[in-house]
Structure 1
Amino acid sequence: MRTILALLMREMSTTYGRSIIGYLWAILEPAAGIMLLTFVFSLALRSPPIGTNFAIFYASGMLPFMAWMSIHQRVATAIRFSKPLLFYPGVTYLDAIVARVLLNAITQLMVFLVVMSGIIVFYDLDMILDIPAIALGLLMTLALATGMGTLNCYLMWVSPTWEKIWGVLTRPLVLLSCVLFTFDTVPQPYQNWLWWNPLVHLVGQTRQGVFATYDATYVSPLYVFGISLITFCLGLIFLNSHYRDMIND
């Protein structure tokens, strides 16, 4: 625990700096994106697909999506970032991963709470939030980001080209994860294809908690947690076998 705490403190100082500016930027970045979406789509549409407020609709999709992106990227580069420290016998690759997961999970939870609360207060919205449903959506986000990030931590070392390929593959995900629209409005057969995207489930679960009238029957937490567990276990197996080669490379 002392090792993880030391790594976590190092992550805080290097990632967000020693001042509050770094954490303010973590909040302002998604807030600016939500404001831009709200402005653009409010000009083109009369009302969002769910509810009457554009900002809360796009926040309910954009925040879990950006949380997944951020945590996944941090976990995928955990060993690369802490490589010099891994030569010490008391520090393992798992310590580096756990430290990054903890710090970024806390940060993204803070961002979610601040941005959502800010929107509700600013627009004076009368919301009935389902806290357990929202918590499940955020837990699905954390699990999927940790699992896929751990596997990519190994794959990006095996093939540096994979990092570039993965970056290209993830660019259209904001359009393919039902962030800007709802899963129910997608026509067949595309709806069946989109169902296999696990990000659709965590976005839908979060929206179900934010909007009391939205019933996301298509969401399968078991599917998301299953993918998370499989990718996490595969990542640990590969890292456990090759991480000495990784830090000596």
Structure 2
Amino acid sequence: MALLAEKPLSYALRENARVISALVVRSAVTRFGESRLGFIWILIEPAAYVGIFLLIHTQLKAHVPFGDNALLFILAGVFGFRMTRGISRKTERAIISNQPMLTYPLVRPLDTLVATFLLETTIWLIICSLFMVGLAISLDRDVIVYPGEFAEGMAAILYFAFSFAAFNATMSALVPRYDTFLSMLSMPLMLLSGVFFMPAEMPPGFQAVLWWNPFLHCVEWFRTSTYLDYHALLSKSYLLGLSTALLTAALVLERLFRRKIID
């Protein structure tokens, strides 16, 4: 009886894996097509952020917010934010982008989210590796001083990115103009995430406001792995707790309103 019970489950898992694999391929073709310019642009975007900051930093002859290298500080901030928001932004549009695929019985809204998330995560991990290795070579030193902390931070960032995207994707399918509201928040979220400054050096009242921004904790967690003595405004429990709450809400809403989301 146990074997009979296991067979349908294993079959369902294999079928689900095939569906997600097919959606990953479809997302990759949609993302890049036959052109390599899409991947090149993804490389240019974080480089542009870093270049603009360094140009302003040089012109103003400003001091480095922390440490002895402005490039390392801003690169850690850019990837802490842009990787999180980049993955979540593409993933939260997965349901809308794959709407025709939802007419097939085997494809569920959650499958489109997982497929897009896997593709975007792979892309951003490759880009992050290229930049961090390149910086380590140029500085002739290790830029990831706490590998364990870096691995934990990356896992937390990816968990939050997927949870945030799942919640936003579900809400966008149910609430008109929700996606427009999200787009308006992108710039304020970046400016308040500590990408260009050290949050722990801000006045206590401002820190209290910044603390509620989950992207700030992504940036700070990323930076703690790149400095030996970085004083972070970081709450790991808040970021993980919020991620769990968002994911739970997304799964409940998706199950309750699946038919409406598909239609």
Q: CA deviation at 1:22?
A: 2.3
Match of 1:66 in 2: 82
Match of 1:95 in 2: 111
Q: CA deviation at 1:19?
A: 4.1
Match of 2:202 in 1: 186
Whole-Å separation in 2 of the counterparts to 1:121 and 1:37: 21
1:224 to 2:235 alignment: no
1:169 to 2:169 alignment: no
Match of 1:237 among 252, 256, 259: 252
Match of 2:41 in 1: 25
2:135, 2:143 within 8 Å by CA — same for their partners in 1?
no
2:200, 2:231 within 8 Å by CA — same for their partners in 1?
no
One-letter amino acid of the structure 1 residue matched with residue 22 of structure 2: A
Whole-Å separation in 2 of the counterparts to 1:169 and 1:47: 29
Alignment of 1:1-249 (within 5 A): 1-125=17-141, 127=143, 129-216=145-232, 218-248=233-263
Whole-Å separation in 1 of the counterparts to 2:131 and 2:90: 21
Secondary structure in 2 aligned to 1:196?
A: coil
Q: CA deviation at 1:165?
A: 1.8
One-letter amino acid of the structure 2 residue matched with residue 115 of structure 1: F
1:50, 1:57 within 8 Å by CA — same for their partners in 2?
yes
Whole-Å separation in 1 of the counterparts to 2:255 and 2:20: 18
Q: Identity of aligned pairs, percent?
A: 30
Whole-Å separation in 2 of the counterparts to 1:165 and 1:80: 16
1:47, 1:53 within 8 Å by CA — same for their partners in 2?
no
Secondary structure in 1 aligned to 2:221?
A: helix
Structure 1 unmatched runs, 5+: none
Q: CA deviation at 1:123?
A: 4.0
Q: Which structure has the larger Rg over C-alpha atoms?
A: 2
Whole-Å separation in 2 of the counterparts to 1:42 and 1:141: 31
One-letter amino acid of the structure 2 residue matched with residue 33 of structure 1: Y
Q: CA RMSD in A?
A: 1.6
Q: CA deviation at 1:126?
A: 5.4
